[in-house]
Structure 1
Amino acid sequence: MSETTPLLALPLLAGAQAQKHVTHNEALVRLDAACQLAVLDRTRTAPPVSPLPGDRHIVAAGAGGAFAGHDGEIALYDAGWHFLTPRMGWRAYVGTEACTLLFDGAAWREALALTLSGAAATLRMVEQEVTLAGAFVASTLLIPNRAICLAVASRTVAAVTGATAYEVGISGETAKFGGLLSIAAGASNIGVIGPQAFYADTPLRITALGGSFTGGRVRLVLSYLAFTL
């Protein structure tokens, strides 16, 4: 009989074992870490300076120090670092990115669906807060080449000055995701479109109406489907 369980590698009690509580507690700690898996981040190549009990990270490639040799594993802090090897089909929520990853047996992937050869379809949402000035602002938030855009939401997070309203769109279609939008703080809009494919990186644009922008901030949230071969 194996000394650990086949999936989570939880240590098993042996017959007539002394100090059974040590083995039992180790198994509970591992189970606690693996269930409802949520990690703080997936970019660390070294442990944080002041970890807290229960902190979990997906170890990034090329890790060193206490993380050396554990690329892609789940690092758990509990009076020292412990590591869990993910299995195919595991999912993990990444707090710093607000996204869910899928482990395909070789790597963590951000995907709705995968093929055996690694092709993937991914639903992504990205956001940016834009400070307004001038007749329009071209955001650095891009609809990627060969993506299918679904929507762009907007929220006025700081009252807009200089203009009486604004539009959210792209060059040539300045109101594609919303026109005559309110300049009042807290005003919002969800600019849903029929799914549309884009064949070049396309920046979002906020255009002033009734005058040029002299101040204000707007948060944009872009939702799109991305594909990889």
Structure 2
Amino acid sequence: MTETTNLGLPLVQAAQAQKHVTVNEALTRLDAMVQLRLMAVDAVTPPAVAAEGAAYALGTAPTGDWARQGGRIAVSLDGLWHYVSAAVGWQAWDIASGVSRRFDGTNWVEVGATTSPGGAYTRDEVIEFDQTLVGAAVSSDLPIPANTQVLGVSARVISTLSGSGLTGWQLGVAGSENRYGSGLGTALNSWAQGLTGQPVTYYSDTSLVLTPEGAAEFEGGVVRLAIHLSRIEPPRAV
């Protein structure tokens, strides 16, 4: 036996010379795999420069130095790429997406999603961002994503809203400007908890609309918005 079963770490052999080389290699692999952090998931193109210890979960058909290593984890060590095969149940932090993921044998699925054996899943998600309010009805910088079901939208004023005669504001979407709230406060830490009677499905990207009340336009202020939604994905391709 020359490697460990789970992580494929090299083992020191009897009467082996330069044992430190093998031990150091094992330690560097452990350093990359324990508390695993992935720079990207389904990556197909190697970066021009990779930081020491940087790990990437490869897609099915990677190119360049990663060719023929589809589905494995590529780790940059000592200027070279080393490859590790993940086992079902491994977990990692996806740096790019800011979520935890678990390997299901084929894909790195988001932890917290309800999954089926065939890879279908339902996932709850919160998209949070800060929106500056200047002008008349303001469309959000980030939209409600297409093909999602929204349970509600919440908000918190993190910088006092201003405007000549401003008494409040509405939160909604085009055609239903108060769907998620009206008469909302303008003072610091005022908040909204916009629940609809039933979830609303959006089939295309849809901006939130923030409309001033008692004034023609907003003259300043910032609202932190959070879109509370669910997504579904079909079973994986066969």
Q: Distance in 1 between matches of 2:156 and 2:65?
A: 43
Equivalent residues in 2 for 1:9-24, closer than 5 Å: 9-24=8-23
Return the alpha-carbon distance in structure 2 between the equivalents of residues 79 and 6 of structure 1: 23
Residue type of the alignment partner of 2:183? L
Quick one: distance in 2 between partners of 1:188 and 1:102? Answer: 37
In 1, Cα distance between the equivalents of 2:59 and 2:68?
A: 10
Residue in 2 that maps onto 1:204: 208
In structure 1, the residue corresponding to 2:183 is in which secondary structure?
Answer: coil
Paired with 2:218 and 2:60, the residues of 1 have a C-alpha distance of 44
2:103 corresponds in structure 1 to 103
2:53 equivalent in structure 1: 54
Q: Which amino acid aligns with 2:214?
A: G
- If the length of structure 2 is used for normalisation, what is the TM-score? 0.77
Q: 1:135 to 1:37 in 2, by over 3 A?
A: same
Q: Which moved more, 1:175-184 or 1:5-14?
A: 175-184
Give the Å deviation of 1:27. Answer: 1.7
The alignment status of 1:166 with 2:165, answered yes or no, reads no
Which letter does structure 2 place at the counterpart of 1:208?
Answer: P
CA RMSD of aligned residues (A): 2.9
Secondary structure of the corresponding residue to residue 21 of structure 2: helix
How many residues end up aligned between the 2 structures?
225
**1:132 counterpart residue number:** 133
Q: Which amino acid is the alignment partner of residue 206 of structure 1?
A: L
Corresponding position: 1:177 with 2:180: yes
The answer to which structure has the higher strand fraction is 2
Q: 1:228 aligns with which of 205, 228, 233?
A: 233
Unmatched segments (≥5 aa) in structure 1 = none
Deviation per CA, 1:130-176: give whole Å up to 9, x if none: 3434432233411543x342342334455544344322223455344
Provide the rounded CA distance (Å) in 2 between the counterparts of 1:117 and 1:144: 23
Alpha-carbon distance between aligned partners in 2 of 1:78 and 1:178, rounded to the nearest angstrom? 53
Which segments of structure 1 move beyond 6 Å, counting only runs of 4 or more?
Answer: none
Q: Say if 1:199 and 1:151 are closer, same or farther in 2 by CA, change over 3 A.
A: closer
Whether 1:153 and 2:158 are equivalent positions in the alignment is: no
Identity %: 34
Do the aligned partners of residues 214 and 28 (structure 1) sit closer, same or farther apart at CA in structure 2, a change above 3 Å counting? same
Letter of the 1:123 counterpart: D
Provide Cα deviations, 1:197-222, integer angstroms capped at 9, x if missing partner.
Answer: 42634542212112122444434221
Q: Distance in 2 between matches of 1:214 and 1:16?
A: 77
- Alpha-carbon distance in structure 1 between the residues aligned to 2:46 and 2:86: 19
Q: How does 1:47-126 map to 2 (within 5 A)?
A: 47-49=47-49, 51-60=50-59, 62-80=61-79, 81-110=81-110, 112-126=113-127
